[in-house]
Amino acid sequence: MPAGAIPELRVPLEDADDYPYAMSAIRFVYTGELDDSGAFELLQTRRQASFLGVEGCPKAADAALVELARSRLSGVAELYACRQLLPDPEHDPAAAELRPRLKAACQEALVKRGGYKASEVIKVTVGGSAKAVKAGEVLAWAFPDAPSMFSNPATRKQLMALSSSALEALLSSEGFGTDVEDSVLLLLAEWLANKHMVRGTNADEGKRLCRCVRLCQLSSVYFHGVLPLIEWFPIEEEFDYIAQYREVPDGPALAVLQQAGQRAGYDLTCDWYARSARPLGRSDAGHDYEWSFSREQLEAGLIRPALESPLAKVVAINSFGGKDGVRLISRGFEWVPMLQWERFMEAAGFHFYPTLPGVLEVAPEDLGVVPLH
């Protein structure tokens, strides 16, 4: 290098399109500020900053992304439209913290929005290109599935705060997942009870939401054993017809049955008659949930009764609830830990016991079938 020459550091980029975002990351070194832009630009700048090792820039980009999501609905829609650019926690440890913060900010913005239409389209600009995304798809991205909503108290609180039109758009979305449709019906029951709508208040609104449940996808346990006992679900007139409809395979027999339903005035286009199941899965898969049983609880609930009672077997049931309110819902049932001890035995048994949540307003003694999962 000639004397007095200024040294240059050259870093090859993966693609020529990365250049403006790499320059944005480098400008951050000198200004401490990010370019005022959208989700696409922030994510691209964050990626280049991580690649170039620009200290502080990824953290600043994370803060800007969270604020973008929290401040306006279009920001949430932008994030959804370029969600494939979100950093992978496996390769970027900081992303493990970013994703839950972003999800919480998106949920907050979606709740604040209030009214929605099931077919509403949100127009955004992503990377210089105009895109249109459905509001229901954005909602299903922020609230991805039914059963895991119960296990995250913060997410459950936000979902319970959704407006009826937002919930309708969510339940009508093809992107909203579940383990089985039973959990969707349970989720709706929780929302209706939270809004005090189960017992006739805003009856028309509640009936419209009930129409979003895919009755043909309910398990036989829920359809035949639980649904007929739910007094607030408006199914009386069509129950026998749907019971037959859900069992008939595609073909001539189904066509004849559909014609009969149309003559009876049934709306076969509503979700009650959906022939396809929702996406299968739950977003909390692989997450560890801690459960504890204190020595005092063990003595009071299990050991002392076993020693004092002539019964040969004593059980003590506890829950994950505690101060955090975690609930484990699977296939429409709440599963609670149960300890069982037979007197004079050296070991105790540990089980998960399925209970039918009381929000359905179905007496357990009236339930004619039980889950075999």
The tokens of 42 are what?
Answer: 């922030």
Q: What pLDDT does 326 receive?
A: 81
Q: What pLDDT does 276 receive?
A: 96
The tokens of 309 are what?
Answer: 């009672």
Is 0.95 surpassed by the pTM of this model? no
E strand or H helix at 333: strand 333-342
What residues are paired with 280 via a beta bridge?
Answer: 178
Q: What pLDDT does 373 receive?
A: 46
Q: What pLDDT does 259 receive?
A: 96
Contact in structure between 302 and 348 (CB atoms under 8 Å): yes
User: In tens digits, what is the pLDDT along the chain, a chain of 373 residues?
Assistant: 566 667 766 777 777 787 888 889 889 999 999 987 799 999 999 999 988 889 999 999 999 999 999 988 999 999 999 999 999 888 888 788 899 999 999 999 999 998 888 789 999 999 889 999 999 999 999 999 999 999 899 999 999 999 999 999 999 999 999 999 999 999 999 999 998 876 555 678 899 999 999 999 999 999 999 999 998 999 988 999 999 999 999 999 999 999 999 999 999 999 999 999 999 999 998 888 877 777 777 777 776 776 777 655 666 566 665 555 788 899 999 988 877 777 666 667 777 888 899 899 887 666 655 554 4
**CA-CA distance, 22 to 178, in Å (whole number)?**
40
**CA-CA distance, 212 to 198, in Å (whole number)?**
16
- State the alpha helices, DSSP H only, in 269-373: 295-298, 304-308
Largest pairwise CA distance in the chain:
97
What residues are paired with 316 via a beta bridge?
Answer: 339
**CA-CA distance, 348 to 61, in Å (whole number)?**
52
The tokens of 180 are what?
Answer: 């089985």
| Amino acid identity for residue 27 in this structure | R
Considering only CA atoms, which of 245, 251, 248 is closest in space to residue 266?
Answer: 245
Residue that the structure tokens 């001890």 belong to: 341
**CA-CA distance, 140 to 173, in Å (whole number)?**
7
Q: What pLDDT does 45 receive?
A: 95
Q: What pLDDT does 162 receive?
A: 96
Q: What pLDDT does 22 receive?
A: 85
Q: What pLDDT does 115 receive?
A: 87
Q: Terminal CA-to-CA distance of the chain, rounded, Å?
A: 73
Angle at 282 between CA 276 and CA 285, to 5 degrees: 145
